[in-house]
Amino acid sequence: MMWWNDGMGWGGWTAMILVMLTFWGLVIFGLVAVFGGTGEGKEKTRTPDLDPQHILRERFARGEIDADEYHTRHDLLKERSRRKRHPR
């Protein structure tokens, strides 16, 4: 019964291929939407956290470093930023 009248023909095979491509495309799209993709957009929101002085203040506030180390590193960061703005 299945092979009666030469099977599905080219139109049936083409339709089946298009339906399968659409199905797998939707599955992949759904997975990317659920799990967040590559994360390229997340970098822009994280840049303020990467500010060295901000990180230094947070470490001092958490008690990871003492006041002497804080001031030493703060002065070093100021000197580096000054050199970047006014190169010799």
For residue 1, is it within any domain?
A: no
* pLDDT of amino acid 10: 83
Per-residue pLDDT tens digits for 28-58 = 999 988 887 666 655 555 555 678 888 999 9
Per-residue pLDDT tens digits for 5-28 = 667 788 888 999 999 999 999 999
* pLDDT of amino acid 5: 63
Q: pLDDT band at residue 62, thresholds of 50, 70 and 90?
A: very high
Domain count, the chain: 2
Q: At what angle do helices 67-85 and 52-62 cross, to 10 degrees?
A: 180
Same domain, 86 and 44: yes
More confident residue, 45 or 81: 81
* pLDDT of amino acid 14: 92
Same domain, 49 and 74: yes
Please tell me the distance from the alpha carbon of residue 56 to that of residue 12, in angstroms, as a whole number: 66
Q: What is the DSSP string of 13-59?
A: HHHHHHHHHHHHHHHHHHHHHHHTTT-TTHHHHHGGGG-HHHHHHHH
* pLDDT of amino acid 39: 63
Full residue range of the structural domain in which residue 16 is found: 8-37
**What's the mean pLDDT in 58-75?**
93
Same domain, 44 and 75: yes
